[in-house]
Chain A
Amino acid sequence: MATAELCDLGIGELGRRYRARGLSPVDVAAAHLARIEQVDKTLSSFLTVTPDRALADARAAEVAIRRGDAGPLAGVPVAYKDLYATRGVRTTAGSALLADWVPDHDAACVSRLQQAGMVMLGKLTTHEFAFGIQFPGHRFLPARNPWDLDHIPGGSSSGSGAALAAGLTVGALGSDTGGSIRGPAAFCGIVGLKPTSGRVSRAGVVTLSWTLDHTGPMARTVEDCALMLQALAGHDPADPASSREQPVPDYAAGLGSGVRGLRVGVPREYFFHDVKPEVADAFESAMGTLRRLGAEVRDVRIPSIWAAPAFMVIMLTEAFAYHARDLRERPELYGEVVREKLMAGALFTGDEYVQAQRLRARLREDMHRVLGDVDVLATPTTPGTAPAFSAVLDPNFPFARSNMAPFNMAGLPALALPCGFAPSGLPISLQLAGRPFDEATVLRAGHAYEQATEWHRRRPPI
């Protein structure tokens, strides 16, 4: 089998072939390493490649598979956003401040995927401290969008999105404070899941904003995200916000149950502001597909959605709180624009931060109430397709209104998956969000849509 074909297989297919002895995890790891060597000079999606570790992991997985006690992730290649601590492997958070940091521990998510037998290929490019889109002054090479190298892959999990779309890994981890899993998923035509707040541990992941940060899986299909979530989910005493009480269901078991009778709510207010026509068309077409599959799609209203921009008060204030000392003592180690935007977090007053949290509580309650009447919410993930580097590298490029941040505010699970392509050839994405800890329904809806369409099968010309 050719390298490109090997690197296009999903988790389920890899597992079937491993168990049938038709394929070796060592060969699959070697194929991915070769493809990274071949393609990533152009993409810059990897900051660090760990070939020795990958081959050692693959050999261990092969032994486990032959013993017959391996799970579905055994031998599956994975790479980590360089925000996740990896023992013995440099972890930069995309910052000159941490350029030489080699952690003596693994992030909880890294440990869990390692225990599940995944094969670590390396560390993926991230925006500086997981902040923003691509700002000028960043000291690391930016990852590029495999669909069009002149466009950004989204961020801050930029390398994760680019590497998955280009077939350089099968799974990846991202982090999502205001859309950093779902944005790159949207711009790169892949799938990303921001789980419920407290579902997946954040321990060992460099923070951007404590109360908004989430960790989660990224892959090329909904099923692959579900399989990774299975290994990632569950209580972790090392993360103070980790849920103790919620049992972890079998996410893959219900995937194929379809959407007949599922109630899908479309919140028109806020989420359709400035949406480009091609995105609106793709979204409405996706709703038509869900209807044909038996879902009941209707408009809903979230009364306090106007409060969503208060997200920025919380995010910037908490980010400044984390960075205050380094910003004052070592400002030259930050990129110039990210430094100024982090400093903006010092310009809010204490009462403004508290009011923002109050508005957040109100927004969360309104969303819960709406999700009493419908099972999932559907919106465009982003109002447009991936912008060009030439646009975002203008220091005055503004933050766009985010369709993703409201779900960080509310802590609800939200999935981004491909739902079309613009005339430019760039991907368009659908966002599905659900009730707290009901990732299973969100994944089921996403899988049903995915299986009824072909968008996820398209590959970039790289």
Chain B
Amino acid sequence: MSTAPPELTLDEVRDRIRVAGLPIPEERLALIHSLLRDALRPIRALDTRDAQTLEPAPTFDAAATINRHGHR
């Protein structure tokens, strides 16, 4: 993470709640904002071109000597 990525703002959270059509009360916005902001911080810092692997869940293969990402 060489440069600080833009963080999710409170207004973005308001927009997302409006688009989703969900009844999240205003007094809980700060909490939801901090929850989303912290969760998204590593994703906003990610250069997506560097991440080549995608697995839906951990899977392990006892028989394999080379894993699916080419590592021995």
- Assuming the contacts A312-B35, A340-B32, A359-B43, asked whether A198 and B59 have C-beta atoms less than 8 A apart, the reply is yes
- Inter-chain contact A358/B28, CB cutoff 8 Å: no
Given contacts A358-B54, A365-B53, contact A347 B1 (CB under 8 A): no
Q: How far is the CA of A311 from the CA of B25 in the complex (A)?
A: 25
A394 to chain B, nearest CB (A): 10
| Among B35, B45, B56, B57: residue with most chain A CB under 10 A | B57
- Count, chain B residues at interface, CB 8 A: 39
A341's nearest neighbour on chain B, judged by CB, is B35
Chain A residues 304-330 with CB under 8 Å of chain B are 306-313, 316
Cβ contact of B58, chosen from A308, A331, A410, cutoff 8 A: A410
Chain A contact surface mostly: helix
A-chain residues with CB within 8 Å of residue B22 when the two chains form the complex: 343, 346-347
Chain B, residues 15-34, CB within 8 Å of chain A (1/0): the string is 01100101111001011101
Asked whether, in the complex, the Cβ of B40 is within 8 Å of the Cβ of A352, the reply is yes
Query: Closest CB-CB distance, B10 to chain A, in whole Å?
Result: 12
> Would you call B58 and A355 a contact (CB within 8 A)?
no
Contact B43 A344 (CB under 8 A): no
Are A241 and B57 interface neighbours, CB within 8 A?
yes
Across the interface, name the chain B residue whose C-beta is closest to A306.
B42
A356–B60 touching, CB < 8 Å: no
Task: Evaluate contact between B57 and A340: CB separation under 8 angstroms.
Answer: no
- The distance in angstroms between the C-alpha atoms of A437 and B42, with both chains bound, is 28
Tally the A-B contacts, defined by beta carbons under 8 Å. Answer: 123
The complex places the Cα of A348 from the Cα of B37 at a distance, in Å, of: 11
Known: A343-B22, A347-B17, A365-B71. A359 touches B51 (CB 8 A): yes
> Given the complex, which residues of A lie within 8 Å of B61, measured CB to CB?
245
Q: Which of A113-121, A395-403, A453-461 contacts B (4 or more CB under 8 A)?
A: A395-403
Q: Which residues of A contact B54 (CB under 8 A)?
A: 354, 357-358, 361
B55 adjacent to chain A (CB < 8 Å): yes
B60, A196: Cβ atoms closer than 8 Å: yes
B38 A411 Cβ-Cβ under 8 A: no
Q: Which residues of A contact B34 (CB under 8 A)?
A: 398
| CA–CA, A344 and B25, complex, Å | 12
Per CB-CB distance, the 3 closest pairs between chain A and chain B, nearest first, are A411-B58, A312-B39, A358-B51
A-B contact pairs, 15 of them (CB 8 A): A241-B57, A306-B42, A307-B42, A312-B38, A316-B39, A340-B28, A344-B32, A346-B20, A355-B46, A358-B54, A365-B69, A369-B71, A398-B31, A398-B35, A436-B58
- The residues of B with any CB-CB pair to A shorter than 8 Å are 1, 13, 16-17, 20, 22-25, 28, 30-32, 34-36, 38-43, 45-46, 48, 51, 53-63, 69, 71
Interface residues of chain A, those whose CB is within 8 Å of chain B, are 196-198, 210-211, 241, 243, 245-247, 306-313, 316, 331, 340-341, 343-344, 346-348, 352, 354-362, 364-365, 368-369, 395-396, 398-399, 410-411, 436-437
List 4 other contacts, CB 8 Å, given A309-B38, A358-B53: A340-B24, A347-B36, A359-B51, A411-B60
